[in-house]
Each structure stands twice: as structure tokens, then as C-alpha cells.
């Protein structure tokens, strides 16, 4: 079982760990800073280092309770002590775009009551699909203005865990189809302080000021009641 350090500290860039299983170039660690992908957020990349060796981490994936780190060559054996290191610039860019999408989702939900039908995050852009029939130029402008208003205020972005009972009572789902597993007793919530909160398992910046201005650069019609917004970001208050 791999301890998922990123769930509690998205700014942790490396960690000492032990190899608990190995299969050729792939190894399982007892703890990791690497996000294995999910919810539209891509898996992290990085490096794995140990005495006498270093490999690039080219893929991270989750299998049940374990996180496998796929290396660009043979890795260390079970029991080896290693250091897992993030490609921080790539991760941080993804974090900024992920948090921007949460604000975008909050804006669309507040303005039009529309839920999310899909999305994807990249280091240089992000997109989100909404259950909307009408996405006129005026509506797009209103969404962009509202999202940038929130970013300019600069609310904190925090993580907390709630019980299943609390989750059922609160309005925390922004997906058209609820994908939160029914057997989870504690559910992770990402909150844009004073604005919006959503169930989420990914990584985020700590303040909206780190996002920078948001620009909707593209819209697409993806079906009768499905509209896509693609965003890019200007520079924010970058944390290094």
C-alpha cells in the first residue's frame, strides 16, 4: 500500500521511500509525492534516485492501494531505499490549471447551474465540458469575467476531508454523473474559500493569486447539450 503524500501537501516535491515491489522497470513505493492520474489530471513525471542509480519516472499509475512508478530502465529491487522527485515545473503548471478549472466550474455553476460532463488538464492549457445547450458569446464573456473576478480577490484554496454523512448533506458535486465511490467513508474536498467547494482527488495551488488571469481561448459544441470551454493562463504569483 502506497501512502499518498500529495493528498495533504501538493507542494512536497520529493520524498524518501522504500521499494515494496518491482516488475522490470516498474516499482511500487511505500510512499510517494507522485499523482497517478485521474479526474482529468495527468500523472506526474519525475525522477527516482538511489545509491548508485537514477532513472527518469516516465509513467505513474495506481493499481488498487499501490502506486506503480514506471522508469526508463531497470529499477532498484524490493527493499531498496530511494528518493522520489517530482518534475516540479510541470506539476506546478498543472496545479495552476486545475485550480483555475475549479473556479471556472464554480462560475458556470453559479451563473447557469450547469454541471461538468468531462475535462482534461495539461501544463499549458485546460478544458472543461458542461451540460449546457446555450453558450453564446455573451455567456462566455460573463463566465470569464466572473472567474477573473474571483482570481483577483485571491481566495485561499484549501483541502479538507469530510465524512460520508457530511458529504451527502453538502452541495459538493459538480459532475453531471456522481463518480465518488459509494464505499468511501472520508471524502476529500477542495474549497475555493468563500466561493465554491468540490469533491476532488487532485493537486491544487494554495491561493487563487497563483493562477493568474484566465482566458477562454476556445469554445466547442460537443453535442446537443454539451459545450466545451478551453482556457489558458497568464502569469500569476508563482511559488518556487
Kindly state the cell numbers that stand for 149: 473576478
Whole-prediction pTM: 0.93
pLDDT for residue 18: 98
pLDDT tens by residue, 141-158: 999 999 999 999 999 999
Task: Supply the pLDDT for residue 179.
Answer: 61
Mean pLDDT calculated for residue range 89-93: 97
pLDDT tens digit sequence for 93-145: 999 999 999 999 999 999 999 999 999 999 999 999 999 988 899 999 999 99
Pick from 143, 192, 185: which is nearest to 168 by CA? 185
Give SS3 for 211: coil
Query: Which three three-digit cell numbers place residue 36?
Result: 497517478
- 105, three cell numbers: 466550474
pLDDT at 171: 72
CA distance 70 to 116: 31
The structural domains of the chain, ordered by start, are: 3-86 (2.40.30.130), 91-233 (3.30.980.10)
Is residue 212 within 8 A of residue 233, CB to CB? The reply is yes
Residues 20-51: tens digit of each pLDDT: 999 999 999 999 999 999 989 999 999 999 99
Question: Residues 53-75: pLDDT tens digits?
Answer: 999 999 999 999 999 999 999 99
Given this model, what pLDDT does residue 165 score? 81
Does pLDDT of 177 surpass 60?
no
Q: Which residue has the cell 520524498?
A: 15
Order across the sheet with 214-221: list the strands: 116-121, 126-130, 227-233, 214-221
Nearest to 11 by CA among 172, 238, 193: 238
Amino acid at each position: 500500500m502506497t501512502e499518498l503524500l500529495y493528498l495533504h501537501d501538493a507542494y512536497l516535491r520529493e520524498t524518501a521511500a522504500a521499494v515494496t515491489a518491482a516488475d522490470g522497470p516498474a516499482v511500487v513505493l511505500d510512499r510517494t509525492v507522485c499523482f497517478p492520474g485521474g479526474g482529468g489530471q495527468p500523472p506526474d513525471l519525475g525522477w527516482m534516485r538511489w545509491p548508485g542509480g537514477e532513472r527518469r519516472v516516465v509513467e505513474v499509475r495506481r493499481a488498487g492501494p499501490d502506486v506503480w512508478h514506471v522508469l526508463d530502465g531497470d529499477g532498484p529491487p524490493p527493499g531498496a531505499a530511494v528518493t522520489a522527485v517530482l518534475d516540479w515545473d510541470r506539476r506546478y503548471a498543472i496545479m495552476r490549471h486545475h485550480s483555475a478549472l475549479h473556479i471556472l466550474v464554480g462560475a458556470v455553476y453559479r451563473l447557469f447551474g450547469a454541471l461538468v460532463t468531462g475535462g482534461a488538464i495539461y501544463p499549458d492549457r485546460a478544458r472543461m465540458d458542461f451540460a449546457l445547450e446555450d453558450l453564446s458569446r455573451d455567456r462566455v464573456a460573463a463566465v470569464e469575467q466572473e472567474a477573473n473576478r474571483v482570481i483577483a480577490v485571491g481566495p485561499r484554496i484549501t483541502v479538507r476531508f469530510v465524512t460520508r454523512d457530511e458529504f451527502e448533506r453538502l452541495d459538493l458535486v459538480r459532475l453531471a454523473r456522481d463518480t465518488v465511490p459509494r464505499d468511501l467513508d472520508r471524502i476529500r474536498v477542495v474549497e475555493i474559500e468563500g466561493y465554491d467547494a468540490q469533491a476532488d482527488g487532485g493537486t491544487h495551488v494554495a491561493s487563487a493569486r497563483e493562477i493568474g488571469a484566465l482566458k477562454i481561448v476556445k469554445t466547442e459544441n460537443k453535442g446537443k447539450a454539451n459545450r466545451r470551454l478551453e482556457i489558458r493562463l497568464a502569469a500569476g504569483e508563482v511559488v518556487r
